[in-house]
Amino acid sequence: MYDWANSAYVTTVAVALLPAYFAGEIVGPDGVIIGNTLYSATTLWGFVVGLAAFLSFLAAPVLGAISDFSAAKKKFMLAFAYAGCLFTILIYFCQSGDVMKTLIFFLVAQACFISANVFYDAFLPQIASEDKMDWVSGKGFAYGYVGGGLQFAISLGLVAGHAQLGLSQAMAARLGIVMAGLWWAGFTFFTIKHLSEAPSEETLPERYRKWPTPLAYVAVGVSRTLKTTRHVGRFRHLVLFLIAYMMYNDGIQTVINMATIYGKEELNLSTTSLMVTLLAIQFIAIFGALLFGRLGERINTKRAVMLTLVLWSGVVIYAYFIESTIEYFTLGIAVGIVLGGSQALSRSLYGSMVPEEASAQFYGFYTIFNKFSAIWGPLVFAIIRQVAGSARLSIISLIIFFILGLVLLSFVDEEKAREAKAAGAF
* Percent residues over pLDDT 90 in the chain: 23
Number of alpha carbons in the 13 Å side-chain half-sphere of residue 284: 17
Inform me whether the pLDDT recorded for 106 exceeds 50. Answer: yes
CA distances from 215 to 57, 73, 100, 103, 292 (A): 20, 18, 33, 31, 43
Beta-carbon contacts of residue 269 (< 8 Å; ≥ 6 apart): 263, 325, 328
At residue 200, the pLDDT reads 66
The region of weakest confidence among 363-367, 402-406, 411-415 is 363-367
Domain assignment of residue 215, yes or no = yes
Residue 203 falls within a domain, yes or no? no
Counting every residue written for the chain, the total comes to 426
- In this prediction, residues 404-408 reach a mean pLDDT of 94
Residues 243, 257: Cα–Cα separation, whole Å: 21
Kindly report, residue by residue over 307-319, the tens digit of the pLDDT: 999 999 999 899 8
**Which domain, by its residues, includes 44?**
2-194+210-422
160 found inside a domain: yes
- For the ranges 70-84, 218-232, 269-283, which has the lowest average pLDDT? 218-232
Q: Which residues pair with 34 in a beta bridge?
A: 37
pLDDT mean over 136-160: 88
User: Model pTM?
Assistant: 0.74
Alpha helices in 266-391 (DSSP H): 271-299, 301-321, 325-351, 359-388
Residue scoring higher pLDDT (254 or 71): 254
From 343, 334, 330, 406, select the one nearest 370 (Cα to Cα): 343
**Which CATH number is 327's domain given?**
1.20.1250.20
Residue 424 confidence (pLDDT) above 60: no
Q: Which DSSP category does 35 fall into?
A: T
Report the percentage of the chain scoring pLDDT > 70. Answer: 87
> Would you give the end-to-end CA distance of the chain in angstroms?
32
Asked, for residue 202, whether it belongs to a domain, the answer is no
Contact 320, 89 (CB under 8 A): no
Closest residue by Cα to residue 175 from 157, 193, 201, 150:
157
Q: What would the mean pLDDT of 247-275 be, rounded to a whole number?
A: 80
**Domain assignment present for 56:** yes
Q: In this predicted structure, what is the pLDDT of residue 239?
A: 83
Q: What is the pLDDT, as a whole number, of residue 84?
A: 96
Beta bridge partners of 33: 38
Is the predicted pLDDT of residue 282 greater than 50, yes or no? Answer: yes
pLDDT band per the 50, 70, 90 thresholds, residue 201: low
- Mean pLDDT for 197-207 is 69
Q: Are 270 and 20 in contact (CB under 8 A)?
A: no
Among 85-99, 109-123, 285-299, the range of highest mean pLDDT: 85-99
Q: Give the pLDDT score at 380.
A: 79
What local confidence, expressed as pLDDT, does residue 426 receive? 46
- C-beta neighbour count of 358 within 10 angstroms: 23
pLDDT value of position 141 = 82
> For 27-65, how does the pLDDT look when each residue is reduced to its tens digit (9 = 90+)?
877 788 888 888 888 788 878 887 887 787 777 767 776
In this predicted structure, the answer to whether residue 181 has a pLDDT above a threshold of 90 is: yes
What angle (nearest 5°) sits at the alpha carbon of residue 231, between those of residues 128 and 420? 40
Residue, of 194 and 425, whose pLDDT is higher? 194
Q: What is the pLDDT of residue 360?
A: 65
What's the total number of domains in the chain?
A: 1
**Of 6-15, 227-236, 320-329, 384-393, which range is least confident?**
227-236
Average pLDDT value for residue range 200-206: 65
Residue 297: its pLDDT value, please?
Answer: 81
Q: Which residues contact 412 (CB under 8 A, 6 or more apart)?
A: 237, 240, 241, 244, 302
- Quick check: is 199 in a domain? no
Average pLDDT of the residues of the chain = 83
Domain-embedded: residue 201: no
Average pLDDT over residues 215-224: 68
Q: Answer whether 167's CB lies under 8 Å from 207's CB.
A: no
pLDDT (0 to 100) of residue 373: 64
Classify residue 228: in a domain, yes or no.
yes
pLDDT on residue 307? 93
Q: Does 189 have pLDDT greater than 90?
A: yes
pLDDT number for residue 227 = 66
Question: pLDDT at position 372, please?
Answer: 65
Q: What is the pLDDT of residues 350-401, one digit of tens each?
A: 888 877 666 666 776 776 676 666 667 777 777 887 787 777 888 888 888 9
Whether residue 423 has pLDDT greater than 80: no
